[in-house]
Amino acid sequence: MKNIAIFASGTGSNAQKIIDHFRNTGLARVTVILSNKAEAGIFKIAEREQIPAVLIDKEQFFRGDTYVKLLQDLDTDLVVLAGFLWKVPANLVQAFPNRIINIHPALLPKFGGKGMYGHFVHEAVLAAGETESGITIHYVNEKYDDGGVILQERCPVTADDTPETLARKVQVLEHRWFPLIVERLLK
């Protein structure tokens, strides 16, 4: 059985889809959920699913190896960033080379980088007059939204789209593809 660690900063809808996907497969399980926000909805999911959850200490995250050791002690096979808003420190990237992935709500390299998350991305896509958007699942390196692309899936952007309607289109893609890519990488 493979072990997945999920980092999230928000409600955790992608994390829930991954948990659900692997629930009865015998292939993998989520062994820990980590978040940098005490009020994040992901903690409710962790409690309901009986998965250990950790509130990340910022100083230890960026200046120590506490979280590297934690993930190593849990025999983590894959680290999944599911709406995690901090840049992953170099020591964590180096400890898990090509074993940390992220999902981004746009077609990278466009609309990526620091501060480009959630509604900010969708607003930027609409302001640029793009005719399509989508998701990018990619490996994580020491830069924001810069690692090698694993998968991109697209959706149309229409003249009547708002950041909210575009977000819903993109989330459909996220929920469909993220668990499948996690599974593919674990096999």
Cα–Cα distance measured from residue 16 to residue 179, given in angstroms and rounded to the nearest whole number: 10
Identity at 176, one-letter amino acid code: R
122 is catalytic: no
Domains and CATH numbers, the chain: 2-104+136-154+174-186 (3.40.50.170)
User: CA 103 to CA 81: how far, in whole Å?
Assistant: 7
pLDDT, tens digit, 9 for 90 and up, residues 18-62: 999 999 999 999 999 999 999 999 999 999 999 999 999 999 999
The label of the residue with tokens 């980590």 reads: 34
pLDDT in tens, 102-128: 999 999 999 999 999 999 999 999 999
Q: Which amino acid is at 30?
A: V
Q: For 125-159, how does the pLDDT look when each residue is reduced to its tens digit (9 = 90+)?
A: 999 999 999 999 999 999 999 999 999 999 999 99
Q: What is the pTM of this model?
A: 0.96
**How many residues in the chain?**
187
Binding residues: 12-14, 58, 102
- Choosing from 104, 119, 138, 175, which is the catalytic residue? 104
